Chain A
């Protein structure tokens, strides 16, 4: 990262007291001015703006200071201990909603059941439930803090009640766990490799966001292939690099049964990074979803048996 010149800091502090404290996190005067504006507009009245700037200087995430992050049409409450929703997630979730709502194939008469693993704040499950008419959801997370926060977010955003489950999905077998049938499975599991954690992760994330929600190898993608594919008609899992996509693709292709029934694709975000691995089963519902998502990403593997065959 380029060095911040002392003259820039001096200039910033002459514009507003405390503005220079935002420069190290924001890296540019323009971004710092924007953050200052958000702080002055949204900070709870009992907190001083200078205190907030100092917090930012100490790398505390803006979302924890303000206590929220907008996510689509929702305003998601953010608290330390639970991962902050990212714009990349917002982007693909919003696209998922639009794709389903725009289709004439789904008249929203048959309810869709959404299941979100590693739900954190609940942003994915709540946004989908809010955006797709006639949908129900189950949200699962290992952390009690997260489940409590999802409850708050349901209340705050007046989203229909869903089922919240506090469970470690890696150790419990999902076959006997409700819901018994899922239409859309989503997840944003921890995907930062342990070896990359100190090198690639921003200081603010490293110091203040829960490692539990960040660091993971391939275990959740293995769990997806081994336990969840049998219960769902489609899945959308966020990824951090192509490694996770390659893993899922190889696992499905190498299994004769799975490669017959699953089509899978890869979606890049608008920053050009691989972001989502997704797939559809070639049963009646999955086959109806598949053509809708033609422009969502690139299909890398097509189910080898005819549609409708089980």
Chain B
């Protein structure tokens, strides 16, 4: 079973809900039930959802019933309503599955406590049911949480080496390969929008990878931050282990970015907001010159964001790409500002998932990957760097994130 490969530093009580965050908030989220008083051999615990979340789920259930009534009485549904209906019924299905499993668990627990004749079988069944229950409950939590505003968007990944010179450039290249491998594994369409190699050709100075799959942003947004590598670089002659870093920036892609829609982008900005600079050549230009001067630089004056693009032979295409990146950066900036505001407003002390400096360590001598935000460790570096098992790291982070968001939600309500 795949859970056995995990090494959660804090002991998990439900998938994605770990004891380390056993703050007063968590008490409100879950009430832990334990049956250790009946039998010391059974240590498996399960946690019920907080009454608040259950209430919310019940609210959706009633809403669905009303929608169903409308449907049977022949009221026409538009696309949005249909989507809403589908979402609600999926949620309600999970909720009833959750309730079913929960009552089964309760029944088994009673059996273990009061019916010695069936105890052994009941215990076994109980042990099998707990992980299944936990999957269902974490799925339900996920569905009850409001989705990320850009959850449905395709994504842009920007990679830059941090400290560590050429070794950091090589590591940035390794990360780029990892994300490409990940996209290949998931059968996602991707495109390297720009890539600047260093002079020796062994690493990158910067690169932008566009992953065109809608919803890839939701999955990859946890990758944003500083990634740290510890290994003996190929450039090292004395066999010492070095620590280097590379930064990953994940942006949501706003709208489609074909060259045709570039003008639509330009139009969404107010006149005077954008300054477009091109390579200024002396001489008369036009028919007099045939060099490919296609580099473009965009400056968004209100925010001071500057985007340069030179990878394409056509100035028009460089402009289109630069606008895509600019829009993504602006959207991300606005989202962060909004989040920051909300956070300050309630003066929450919840540790943020995206402000910590170093988010993950790739330790080669120990063949180890550790995500510092959720404390998740996996001992298969080649598997992760090829992109094959990156999903497990992301999954752990996604679970951690939904737990945190559930806490936020409850703290607010």
> B120 interface residue, CB < 8 Å from A?
no
Pick the contact of B286 from A31, A238, A272 — CB < 8 Å?
Answer: A238
> B283 interface residue, CB < 8 Å from A?
yes
> What secondary structure prevails in chain B residues at the interface with A?
loop
Residue pair B291, A26 in contact (C-beta under 8 Å): yes
Residue pair A273, B292 in contact (C-beta under 8 Å): no
Residue pair A69, B286 in contact (C-beta under 8 Å): no
Q: Please, how many angstroms separate the alpha-carbon atoms of A31 and B293 in the complex?
A: 9
Interface size class of A (residues with CB under 8 A): 35 or more
Q: Please, how many angstroms separate the alpha-carbon atoms of A35 and B290 in the complex?
A: 13
Q: Please, how many angstroms separate the alpha-carbon atoms of A270 and B311 in the complex?
A: 19
> B285 interface residue, CB < 8 Å from A?
yes
Q: Please, how many angstroms separate the alpha-carbon atoms of A270 and B263 in the complex?
A: 16
Known A72-B259, A73-B260, A91-B316; contact A240-B286, beta-carbon cutoff 8 A: yes
Residue pair A202, B288 in contact (C-beta under 8 Å): yes
A191: nearest residue on chain B (CB-CB)?
Answer: B287
Q: Which residues of B contact A175 (CB under 8 A)?
A: none
Q: Which of B8-16, B67-75, B273-281, B328-336 lies at the binding interface?
A: B273-281
> A217 interface residue, CB < 8 Å from B?
no
Q: Which residues of B contact A275 (CB under 8 A)?
A: 285-286
Count chain B residues whose beta carbon lies closer than 8 angstroms to a beta carbon of A: 31
B195: nearest residue on chain A (CB-CB)?
Answer: A37
Residue pair B290, A209 in contact (C-beta under 8 Å): yes
Residue pair B315, A91 in contact (C-beta under 8 Å): yes
Q: Which residues of B contact A102 (CB under 8 A)?
A: 263, 267
Write out, one digit per residue, whether chain B residues 291-325 have a CB within 8 A of any chain A CB (1) or not (0): 11110000000000000001111111100000000
Q: Please, how many angstroms separate the alpha-carbon atoms of A188 and B287 in the complex?
A: 9
B258: nearest residue on chain A (CB-CB)?
Answer: A73
> A158 interface residue, CB < 8 Å from B?
no
| New A-B pairs, 15, CB < 8 Å, besides A87-B316, A102-B267, A131-B260 | A38-B313, A70-B314, A70-B316, A72-B316, A87-B292, A87-B314, A88-B285, A91-B315, A191-B287, A200-B284, A201-B287, A205-B288, A214-B287, A269-B285, A275-B286
A-B contact pairs, 10 of them (CB 8 A): A26-B291, A34-B310, A34-B311, A62-B290, A86-B287, A87-B292, A200-B288, A205-B290, A209-B290, A238-B286
- The list of the 6 closest CB pairs from A to B, nearest first, reads A70-B314, A98-B263, A87-B315, A273-B285, A202-B289, A61-B290
Q: What residues of chain B have their CB less than 8 Å away from a CB belonging to chain A?
A: 199, 201, 258-260, 263, 267, 276, 278, 280-281, 283-294, 310-317
